[in-house]
Chain A
Amino acid sequence: MGGRNFLAGALLVLFGALVSAPLNVSLGAGDEPLVVDLLPQKVEVDSSFTGSTVILFGVKTLPGDIIVTLRGPEAPVVVRRKRRVAGIWINQDSVAFRDVPQYYALAASRPIEEIMEAQELNRNQIGSGHILLNTIWTRTTEEVELFREAVRRGRTAEELYAPEIGEIVIIDDSLFRATLTLPANVPTGEYVAETLLVRGAEILSRREAYLTVEKSGMSAEIYNFAKGQGALYGLIAIAAALVAGWAGGVAFRKN
């Protein structure tokens, strides 16, 4: 992806937003005090992908704080805990969690604790520490809380839960821009960016925007082929190995 094109595109859309925003307000379009868009809306992960950023920008017509969250696709996760058995560390206890977001990032115009009470943060799942992680099969106990923390710790260590809260730039108290980082190991799937306009602990408006992350290029095709048609893939891999080994042998026998 060309960084320059990307920047030019971002500027263009920002400009568009600037021009159209006053128009929307004057016409009272939808009475929605918040308008947002995301750029890009699709991220392609190919063999040279080393991470990327997405920019969410928008216009608000009422004063207040802006909170932006970006959630990746959800999947069930098993957390295992090692114990020492006969001198060796072995996975022993496990707790399963349903619908764990595989990615989570947050940007806010002020520290979120100043914007909302902890209870509200939990209710709206704002901040990686406030994501709802429901267990499967297990009742929640203090013990389970350790496993729940391990989910957050593990994802944060892999930078899948953004370790730092992103900054939101607000211009003239109406135009705003949030930059969110996608690491090199970003999972593929559908992402939801939610923008909240908050004033005095009250959510005045919320808007969603969508992002698709998908693998592209040869590595994606090999991956999909290997998962989708294991038998054919296996035969091709064996044929390739036989040819490579045989060709190597022949090449060196002649010398």
Chain B
Amino acid sequence: MEIYLPIAEISTNVFLLLGLGGAIGFLSGMFGVGGGFLMTPLLIFLGVPPTVAVGTGTNLIVAASVSGMMAHWRRGNVDFRMGALLFSGGIGGAWLGVWLFKTLREAGQIDLVISLFYVVFLTIVGSLMGAESVRAALRRNTSRRRKAHQHNWFHGLPFKLRFRRSKLYVSALPPIVVGFLMGLLAAFMGVGGGFIMIPVMIYLIGMPTSVVVGTSLFGIVVVSTVSSFAHAVQNHNVDIILALLLAVGAVIGAQYGSRFGQRIKGEYLRGLLAVMVLAVGGRLLYGLVARPEDLYSATLMVMR
């Protein structure tokens, strides 16, 4: 059954989109990641214009993260004070990111910048994950103990605040900066940014793992909401039909993914994900390096 996507302006098969959403949802449920960083490149491979893939991605992340966030909220695993700081930085980052996005689009460079961002981030994340899972697999049986959190230079920064839920007394600056970066990434890549935020929260800010996931989901929902809105207003690149079809697939897929994921060892899981992430990054890199069929491309001039 073919459906015409009104904003992407292409015709695709409904079941292909549901299946794609389901596959991404399955992976995100299995690996515990948002899946946005796989969704956007796959949409681009499918023929969706990169700008629409990113704008729609921000909207999809809202749908994909909200139920997880509410589950954590009920269990009291969201540090709202920390979330509010992330949120305030995130709004700034999202608006700046969407504005930059628009400027680059008018200069004809946005497709390149989206691909470059993805190549860089997928390569970094894929390599780190791959290395980490190999290391973990090698020393499966040697367990380590860690302090509640390590003190580092982050804890010398001014404007300290008390975070009761996280049992922390740290500067308000790092969460705002992290939120700001997340907003930029959300606007540029159509991702939630959990894969950047979670390590920062655990290793740099030193939050307890129990509240990290809930708080980062809270930040993701808020930041993707803001950047989705900003894209809809400034770039008109959010395809509501595409987002909803993918979301339906993703919500269902995530349920099965999380059940399946519990049966596989964590390090194998992360190793598998690392291979996939690197493959997608490699495919995007090939698109940048290979000589294009036609060096010339014509586009309608953007009207102000």
A residues touching B (Cβ–Cβ < 8 Å)? 46-49, 75-84, 87-91, 94, 96, 146-147, 150-151, 153-155, 157, 184-185, 218-220, 222-223, 226-227, 230-231, 233-238, 240-242, 244-246, 248-250, 252-253
Contact = CB atoms under 8 A, between A and B. Distances in A.
Given A88-B116, A96-B301, 12 more contacts: A80-B108, A82-B297, A150-B294, A154-B298, A226-B238, A234-B231, A238-B228, A240-B243, A241-B63, A241-B243, A244-B247, A249-B251
B294 A154 contact: yes
Nearest to B230: A234
Task: Classify the secondary structure of A's interface with B.
Answer: helix
Most buried by B among A82, A220, A237: A237
B298 A249 contact: no
Given A151-B298, A244-B251, A249-B70, A230 B236 contact: yes
Dominant secondary structure at the B interface: helix
B117 interface: no
A234 B228 contact: yes
A245 B90 CA distance: 21
Closest 6 CB pairs of A and B: A249-B67, A234-B232, A248-B251, A150-B296, A47-B4, A245-B66
Interface in B206-231: 225, 228-231
B240 A237 contact: yes
A75 B301 contact: yes
B244 interface: yes
Interface residues of B, number: 55
Contacts, number: 169
B236 A77 contact: no
Interface string B1-38: 01111110101000000000000000000000000000
Given A154-B294, A245-B64, A249-B71, A78 B108 contact: yes
A236 B229 contact: no
B121 to A, nearest CB: 16
Contacts of B70: 246, 249
A233 to B, nearest CB: 5
A89 B292 contact: yes
B253 to A, nearest CB: 10
B238 A222 contact: no
B88 interface: no
A243 B234 CA distance: 24
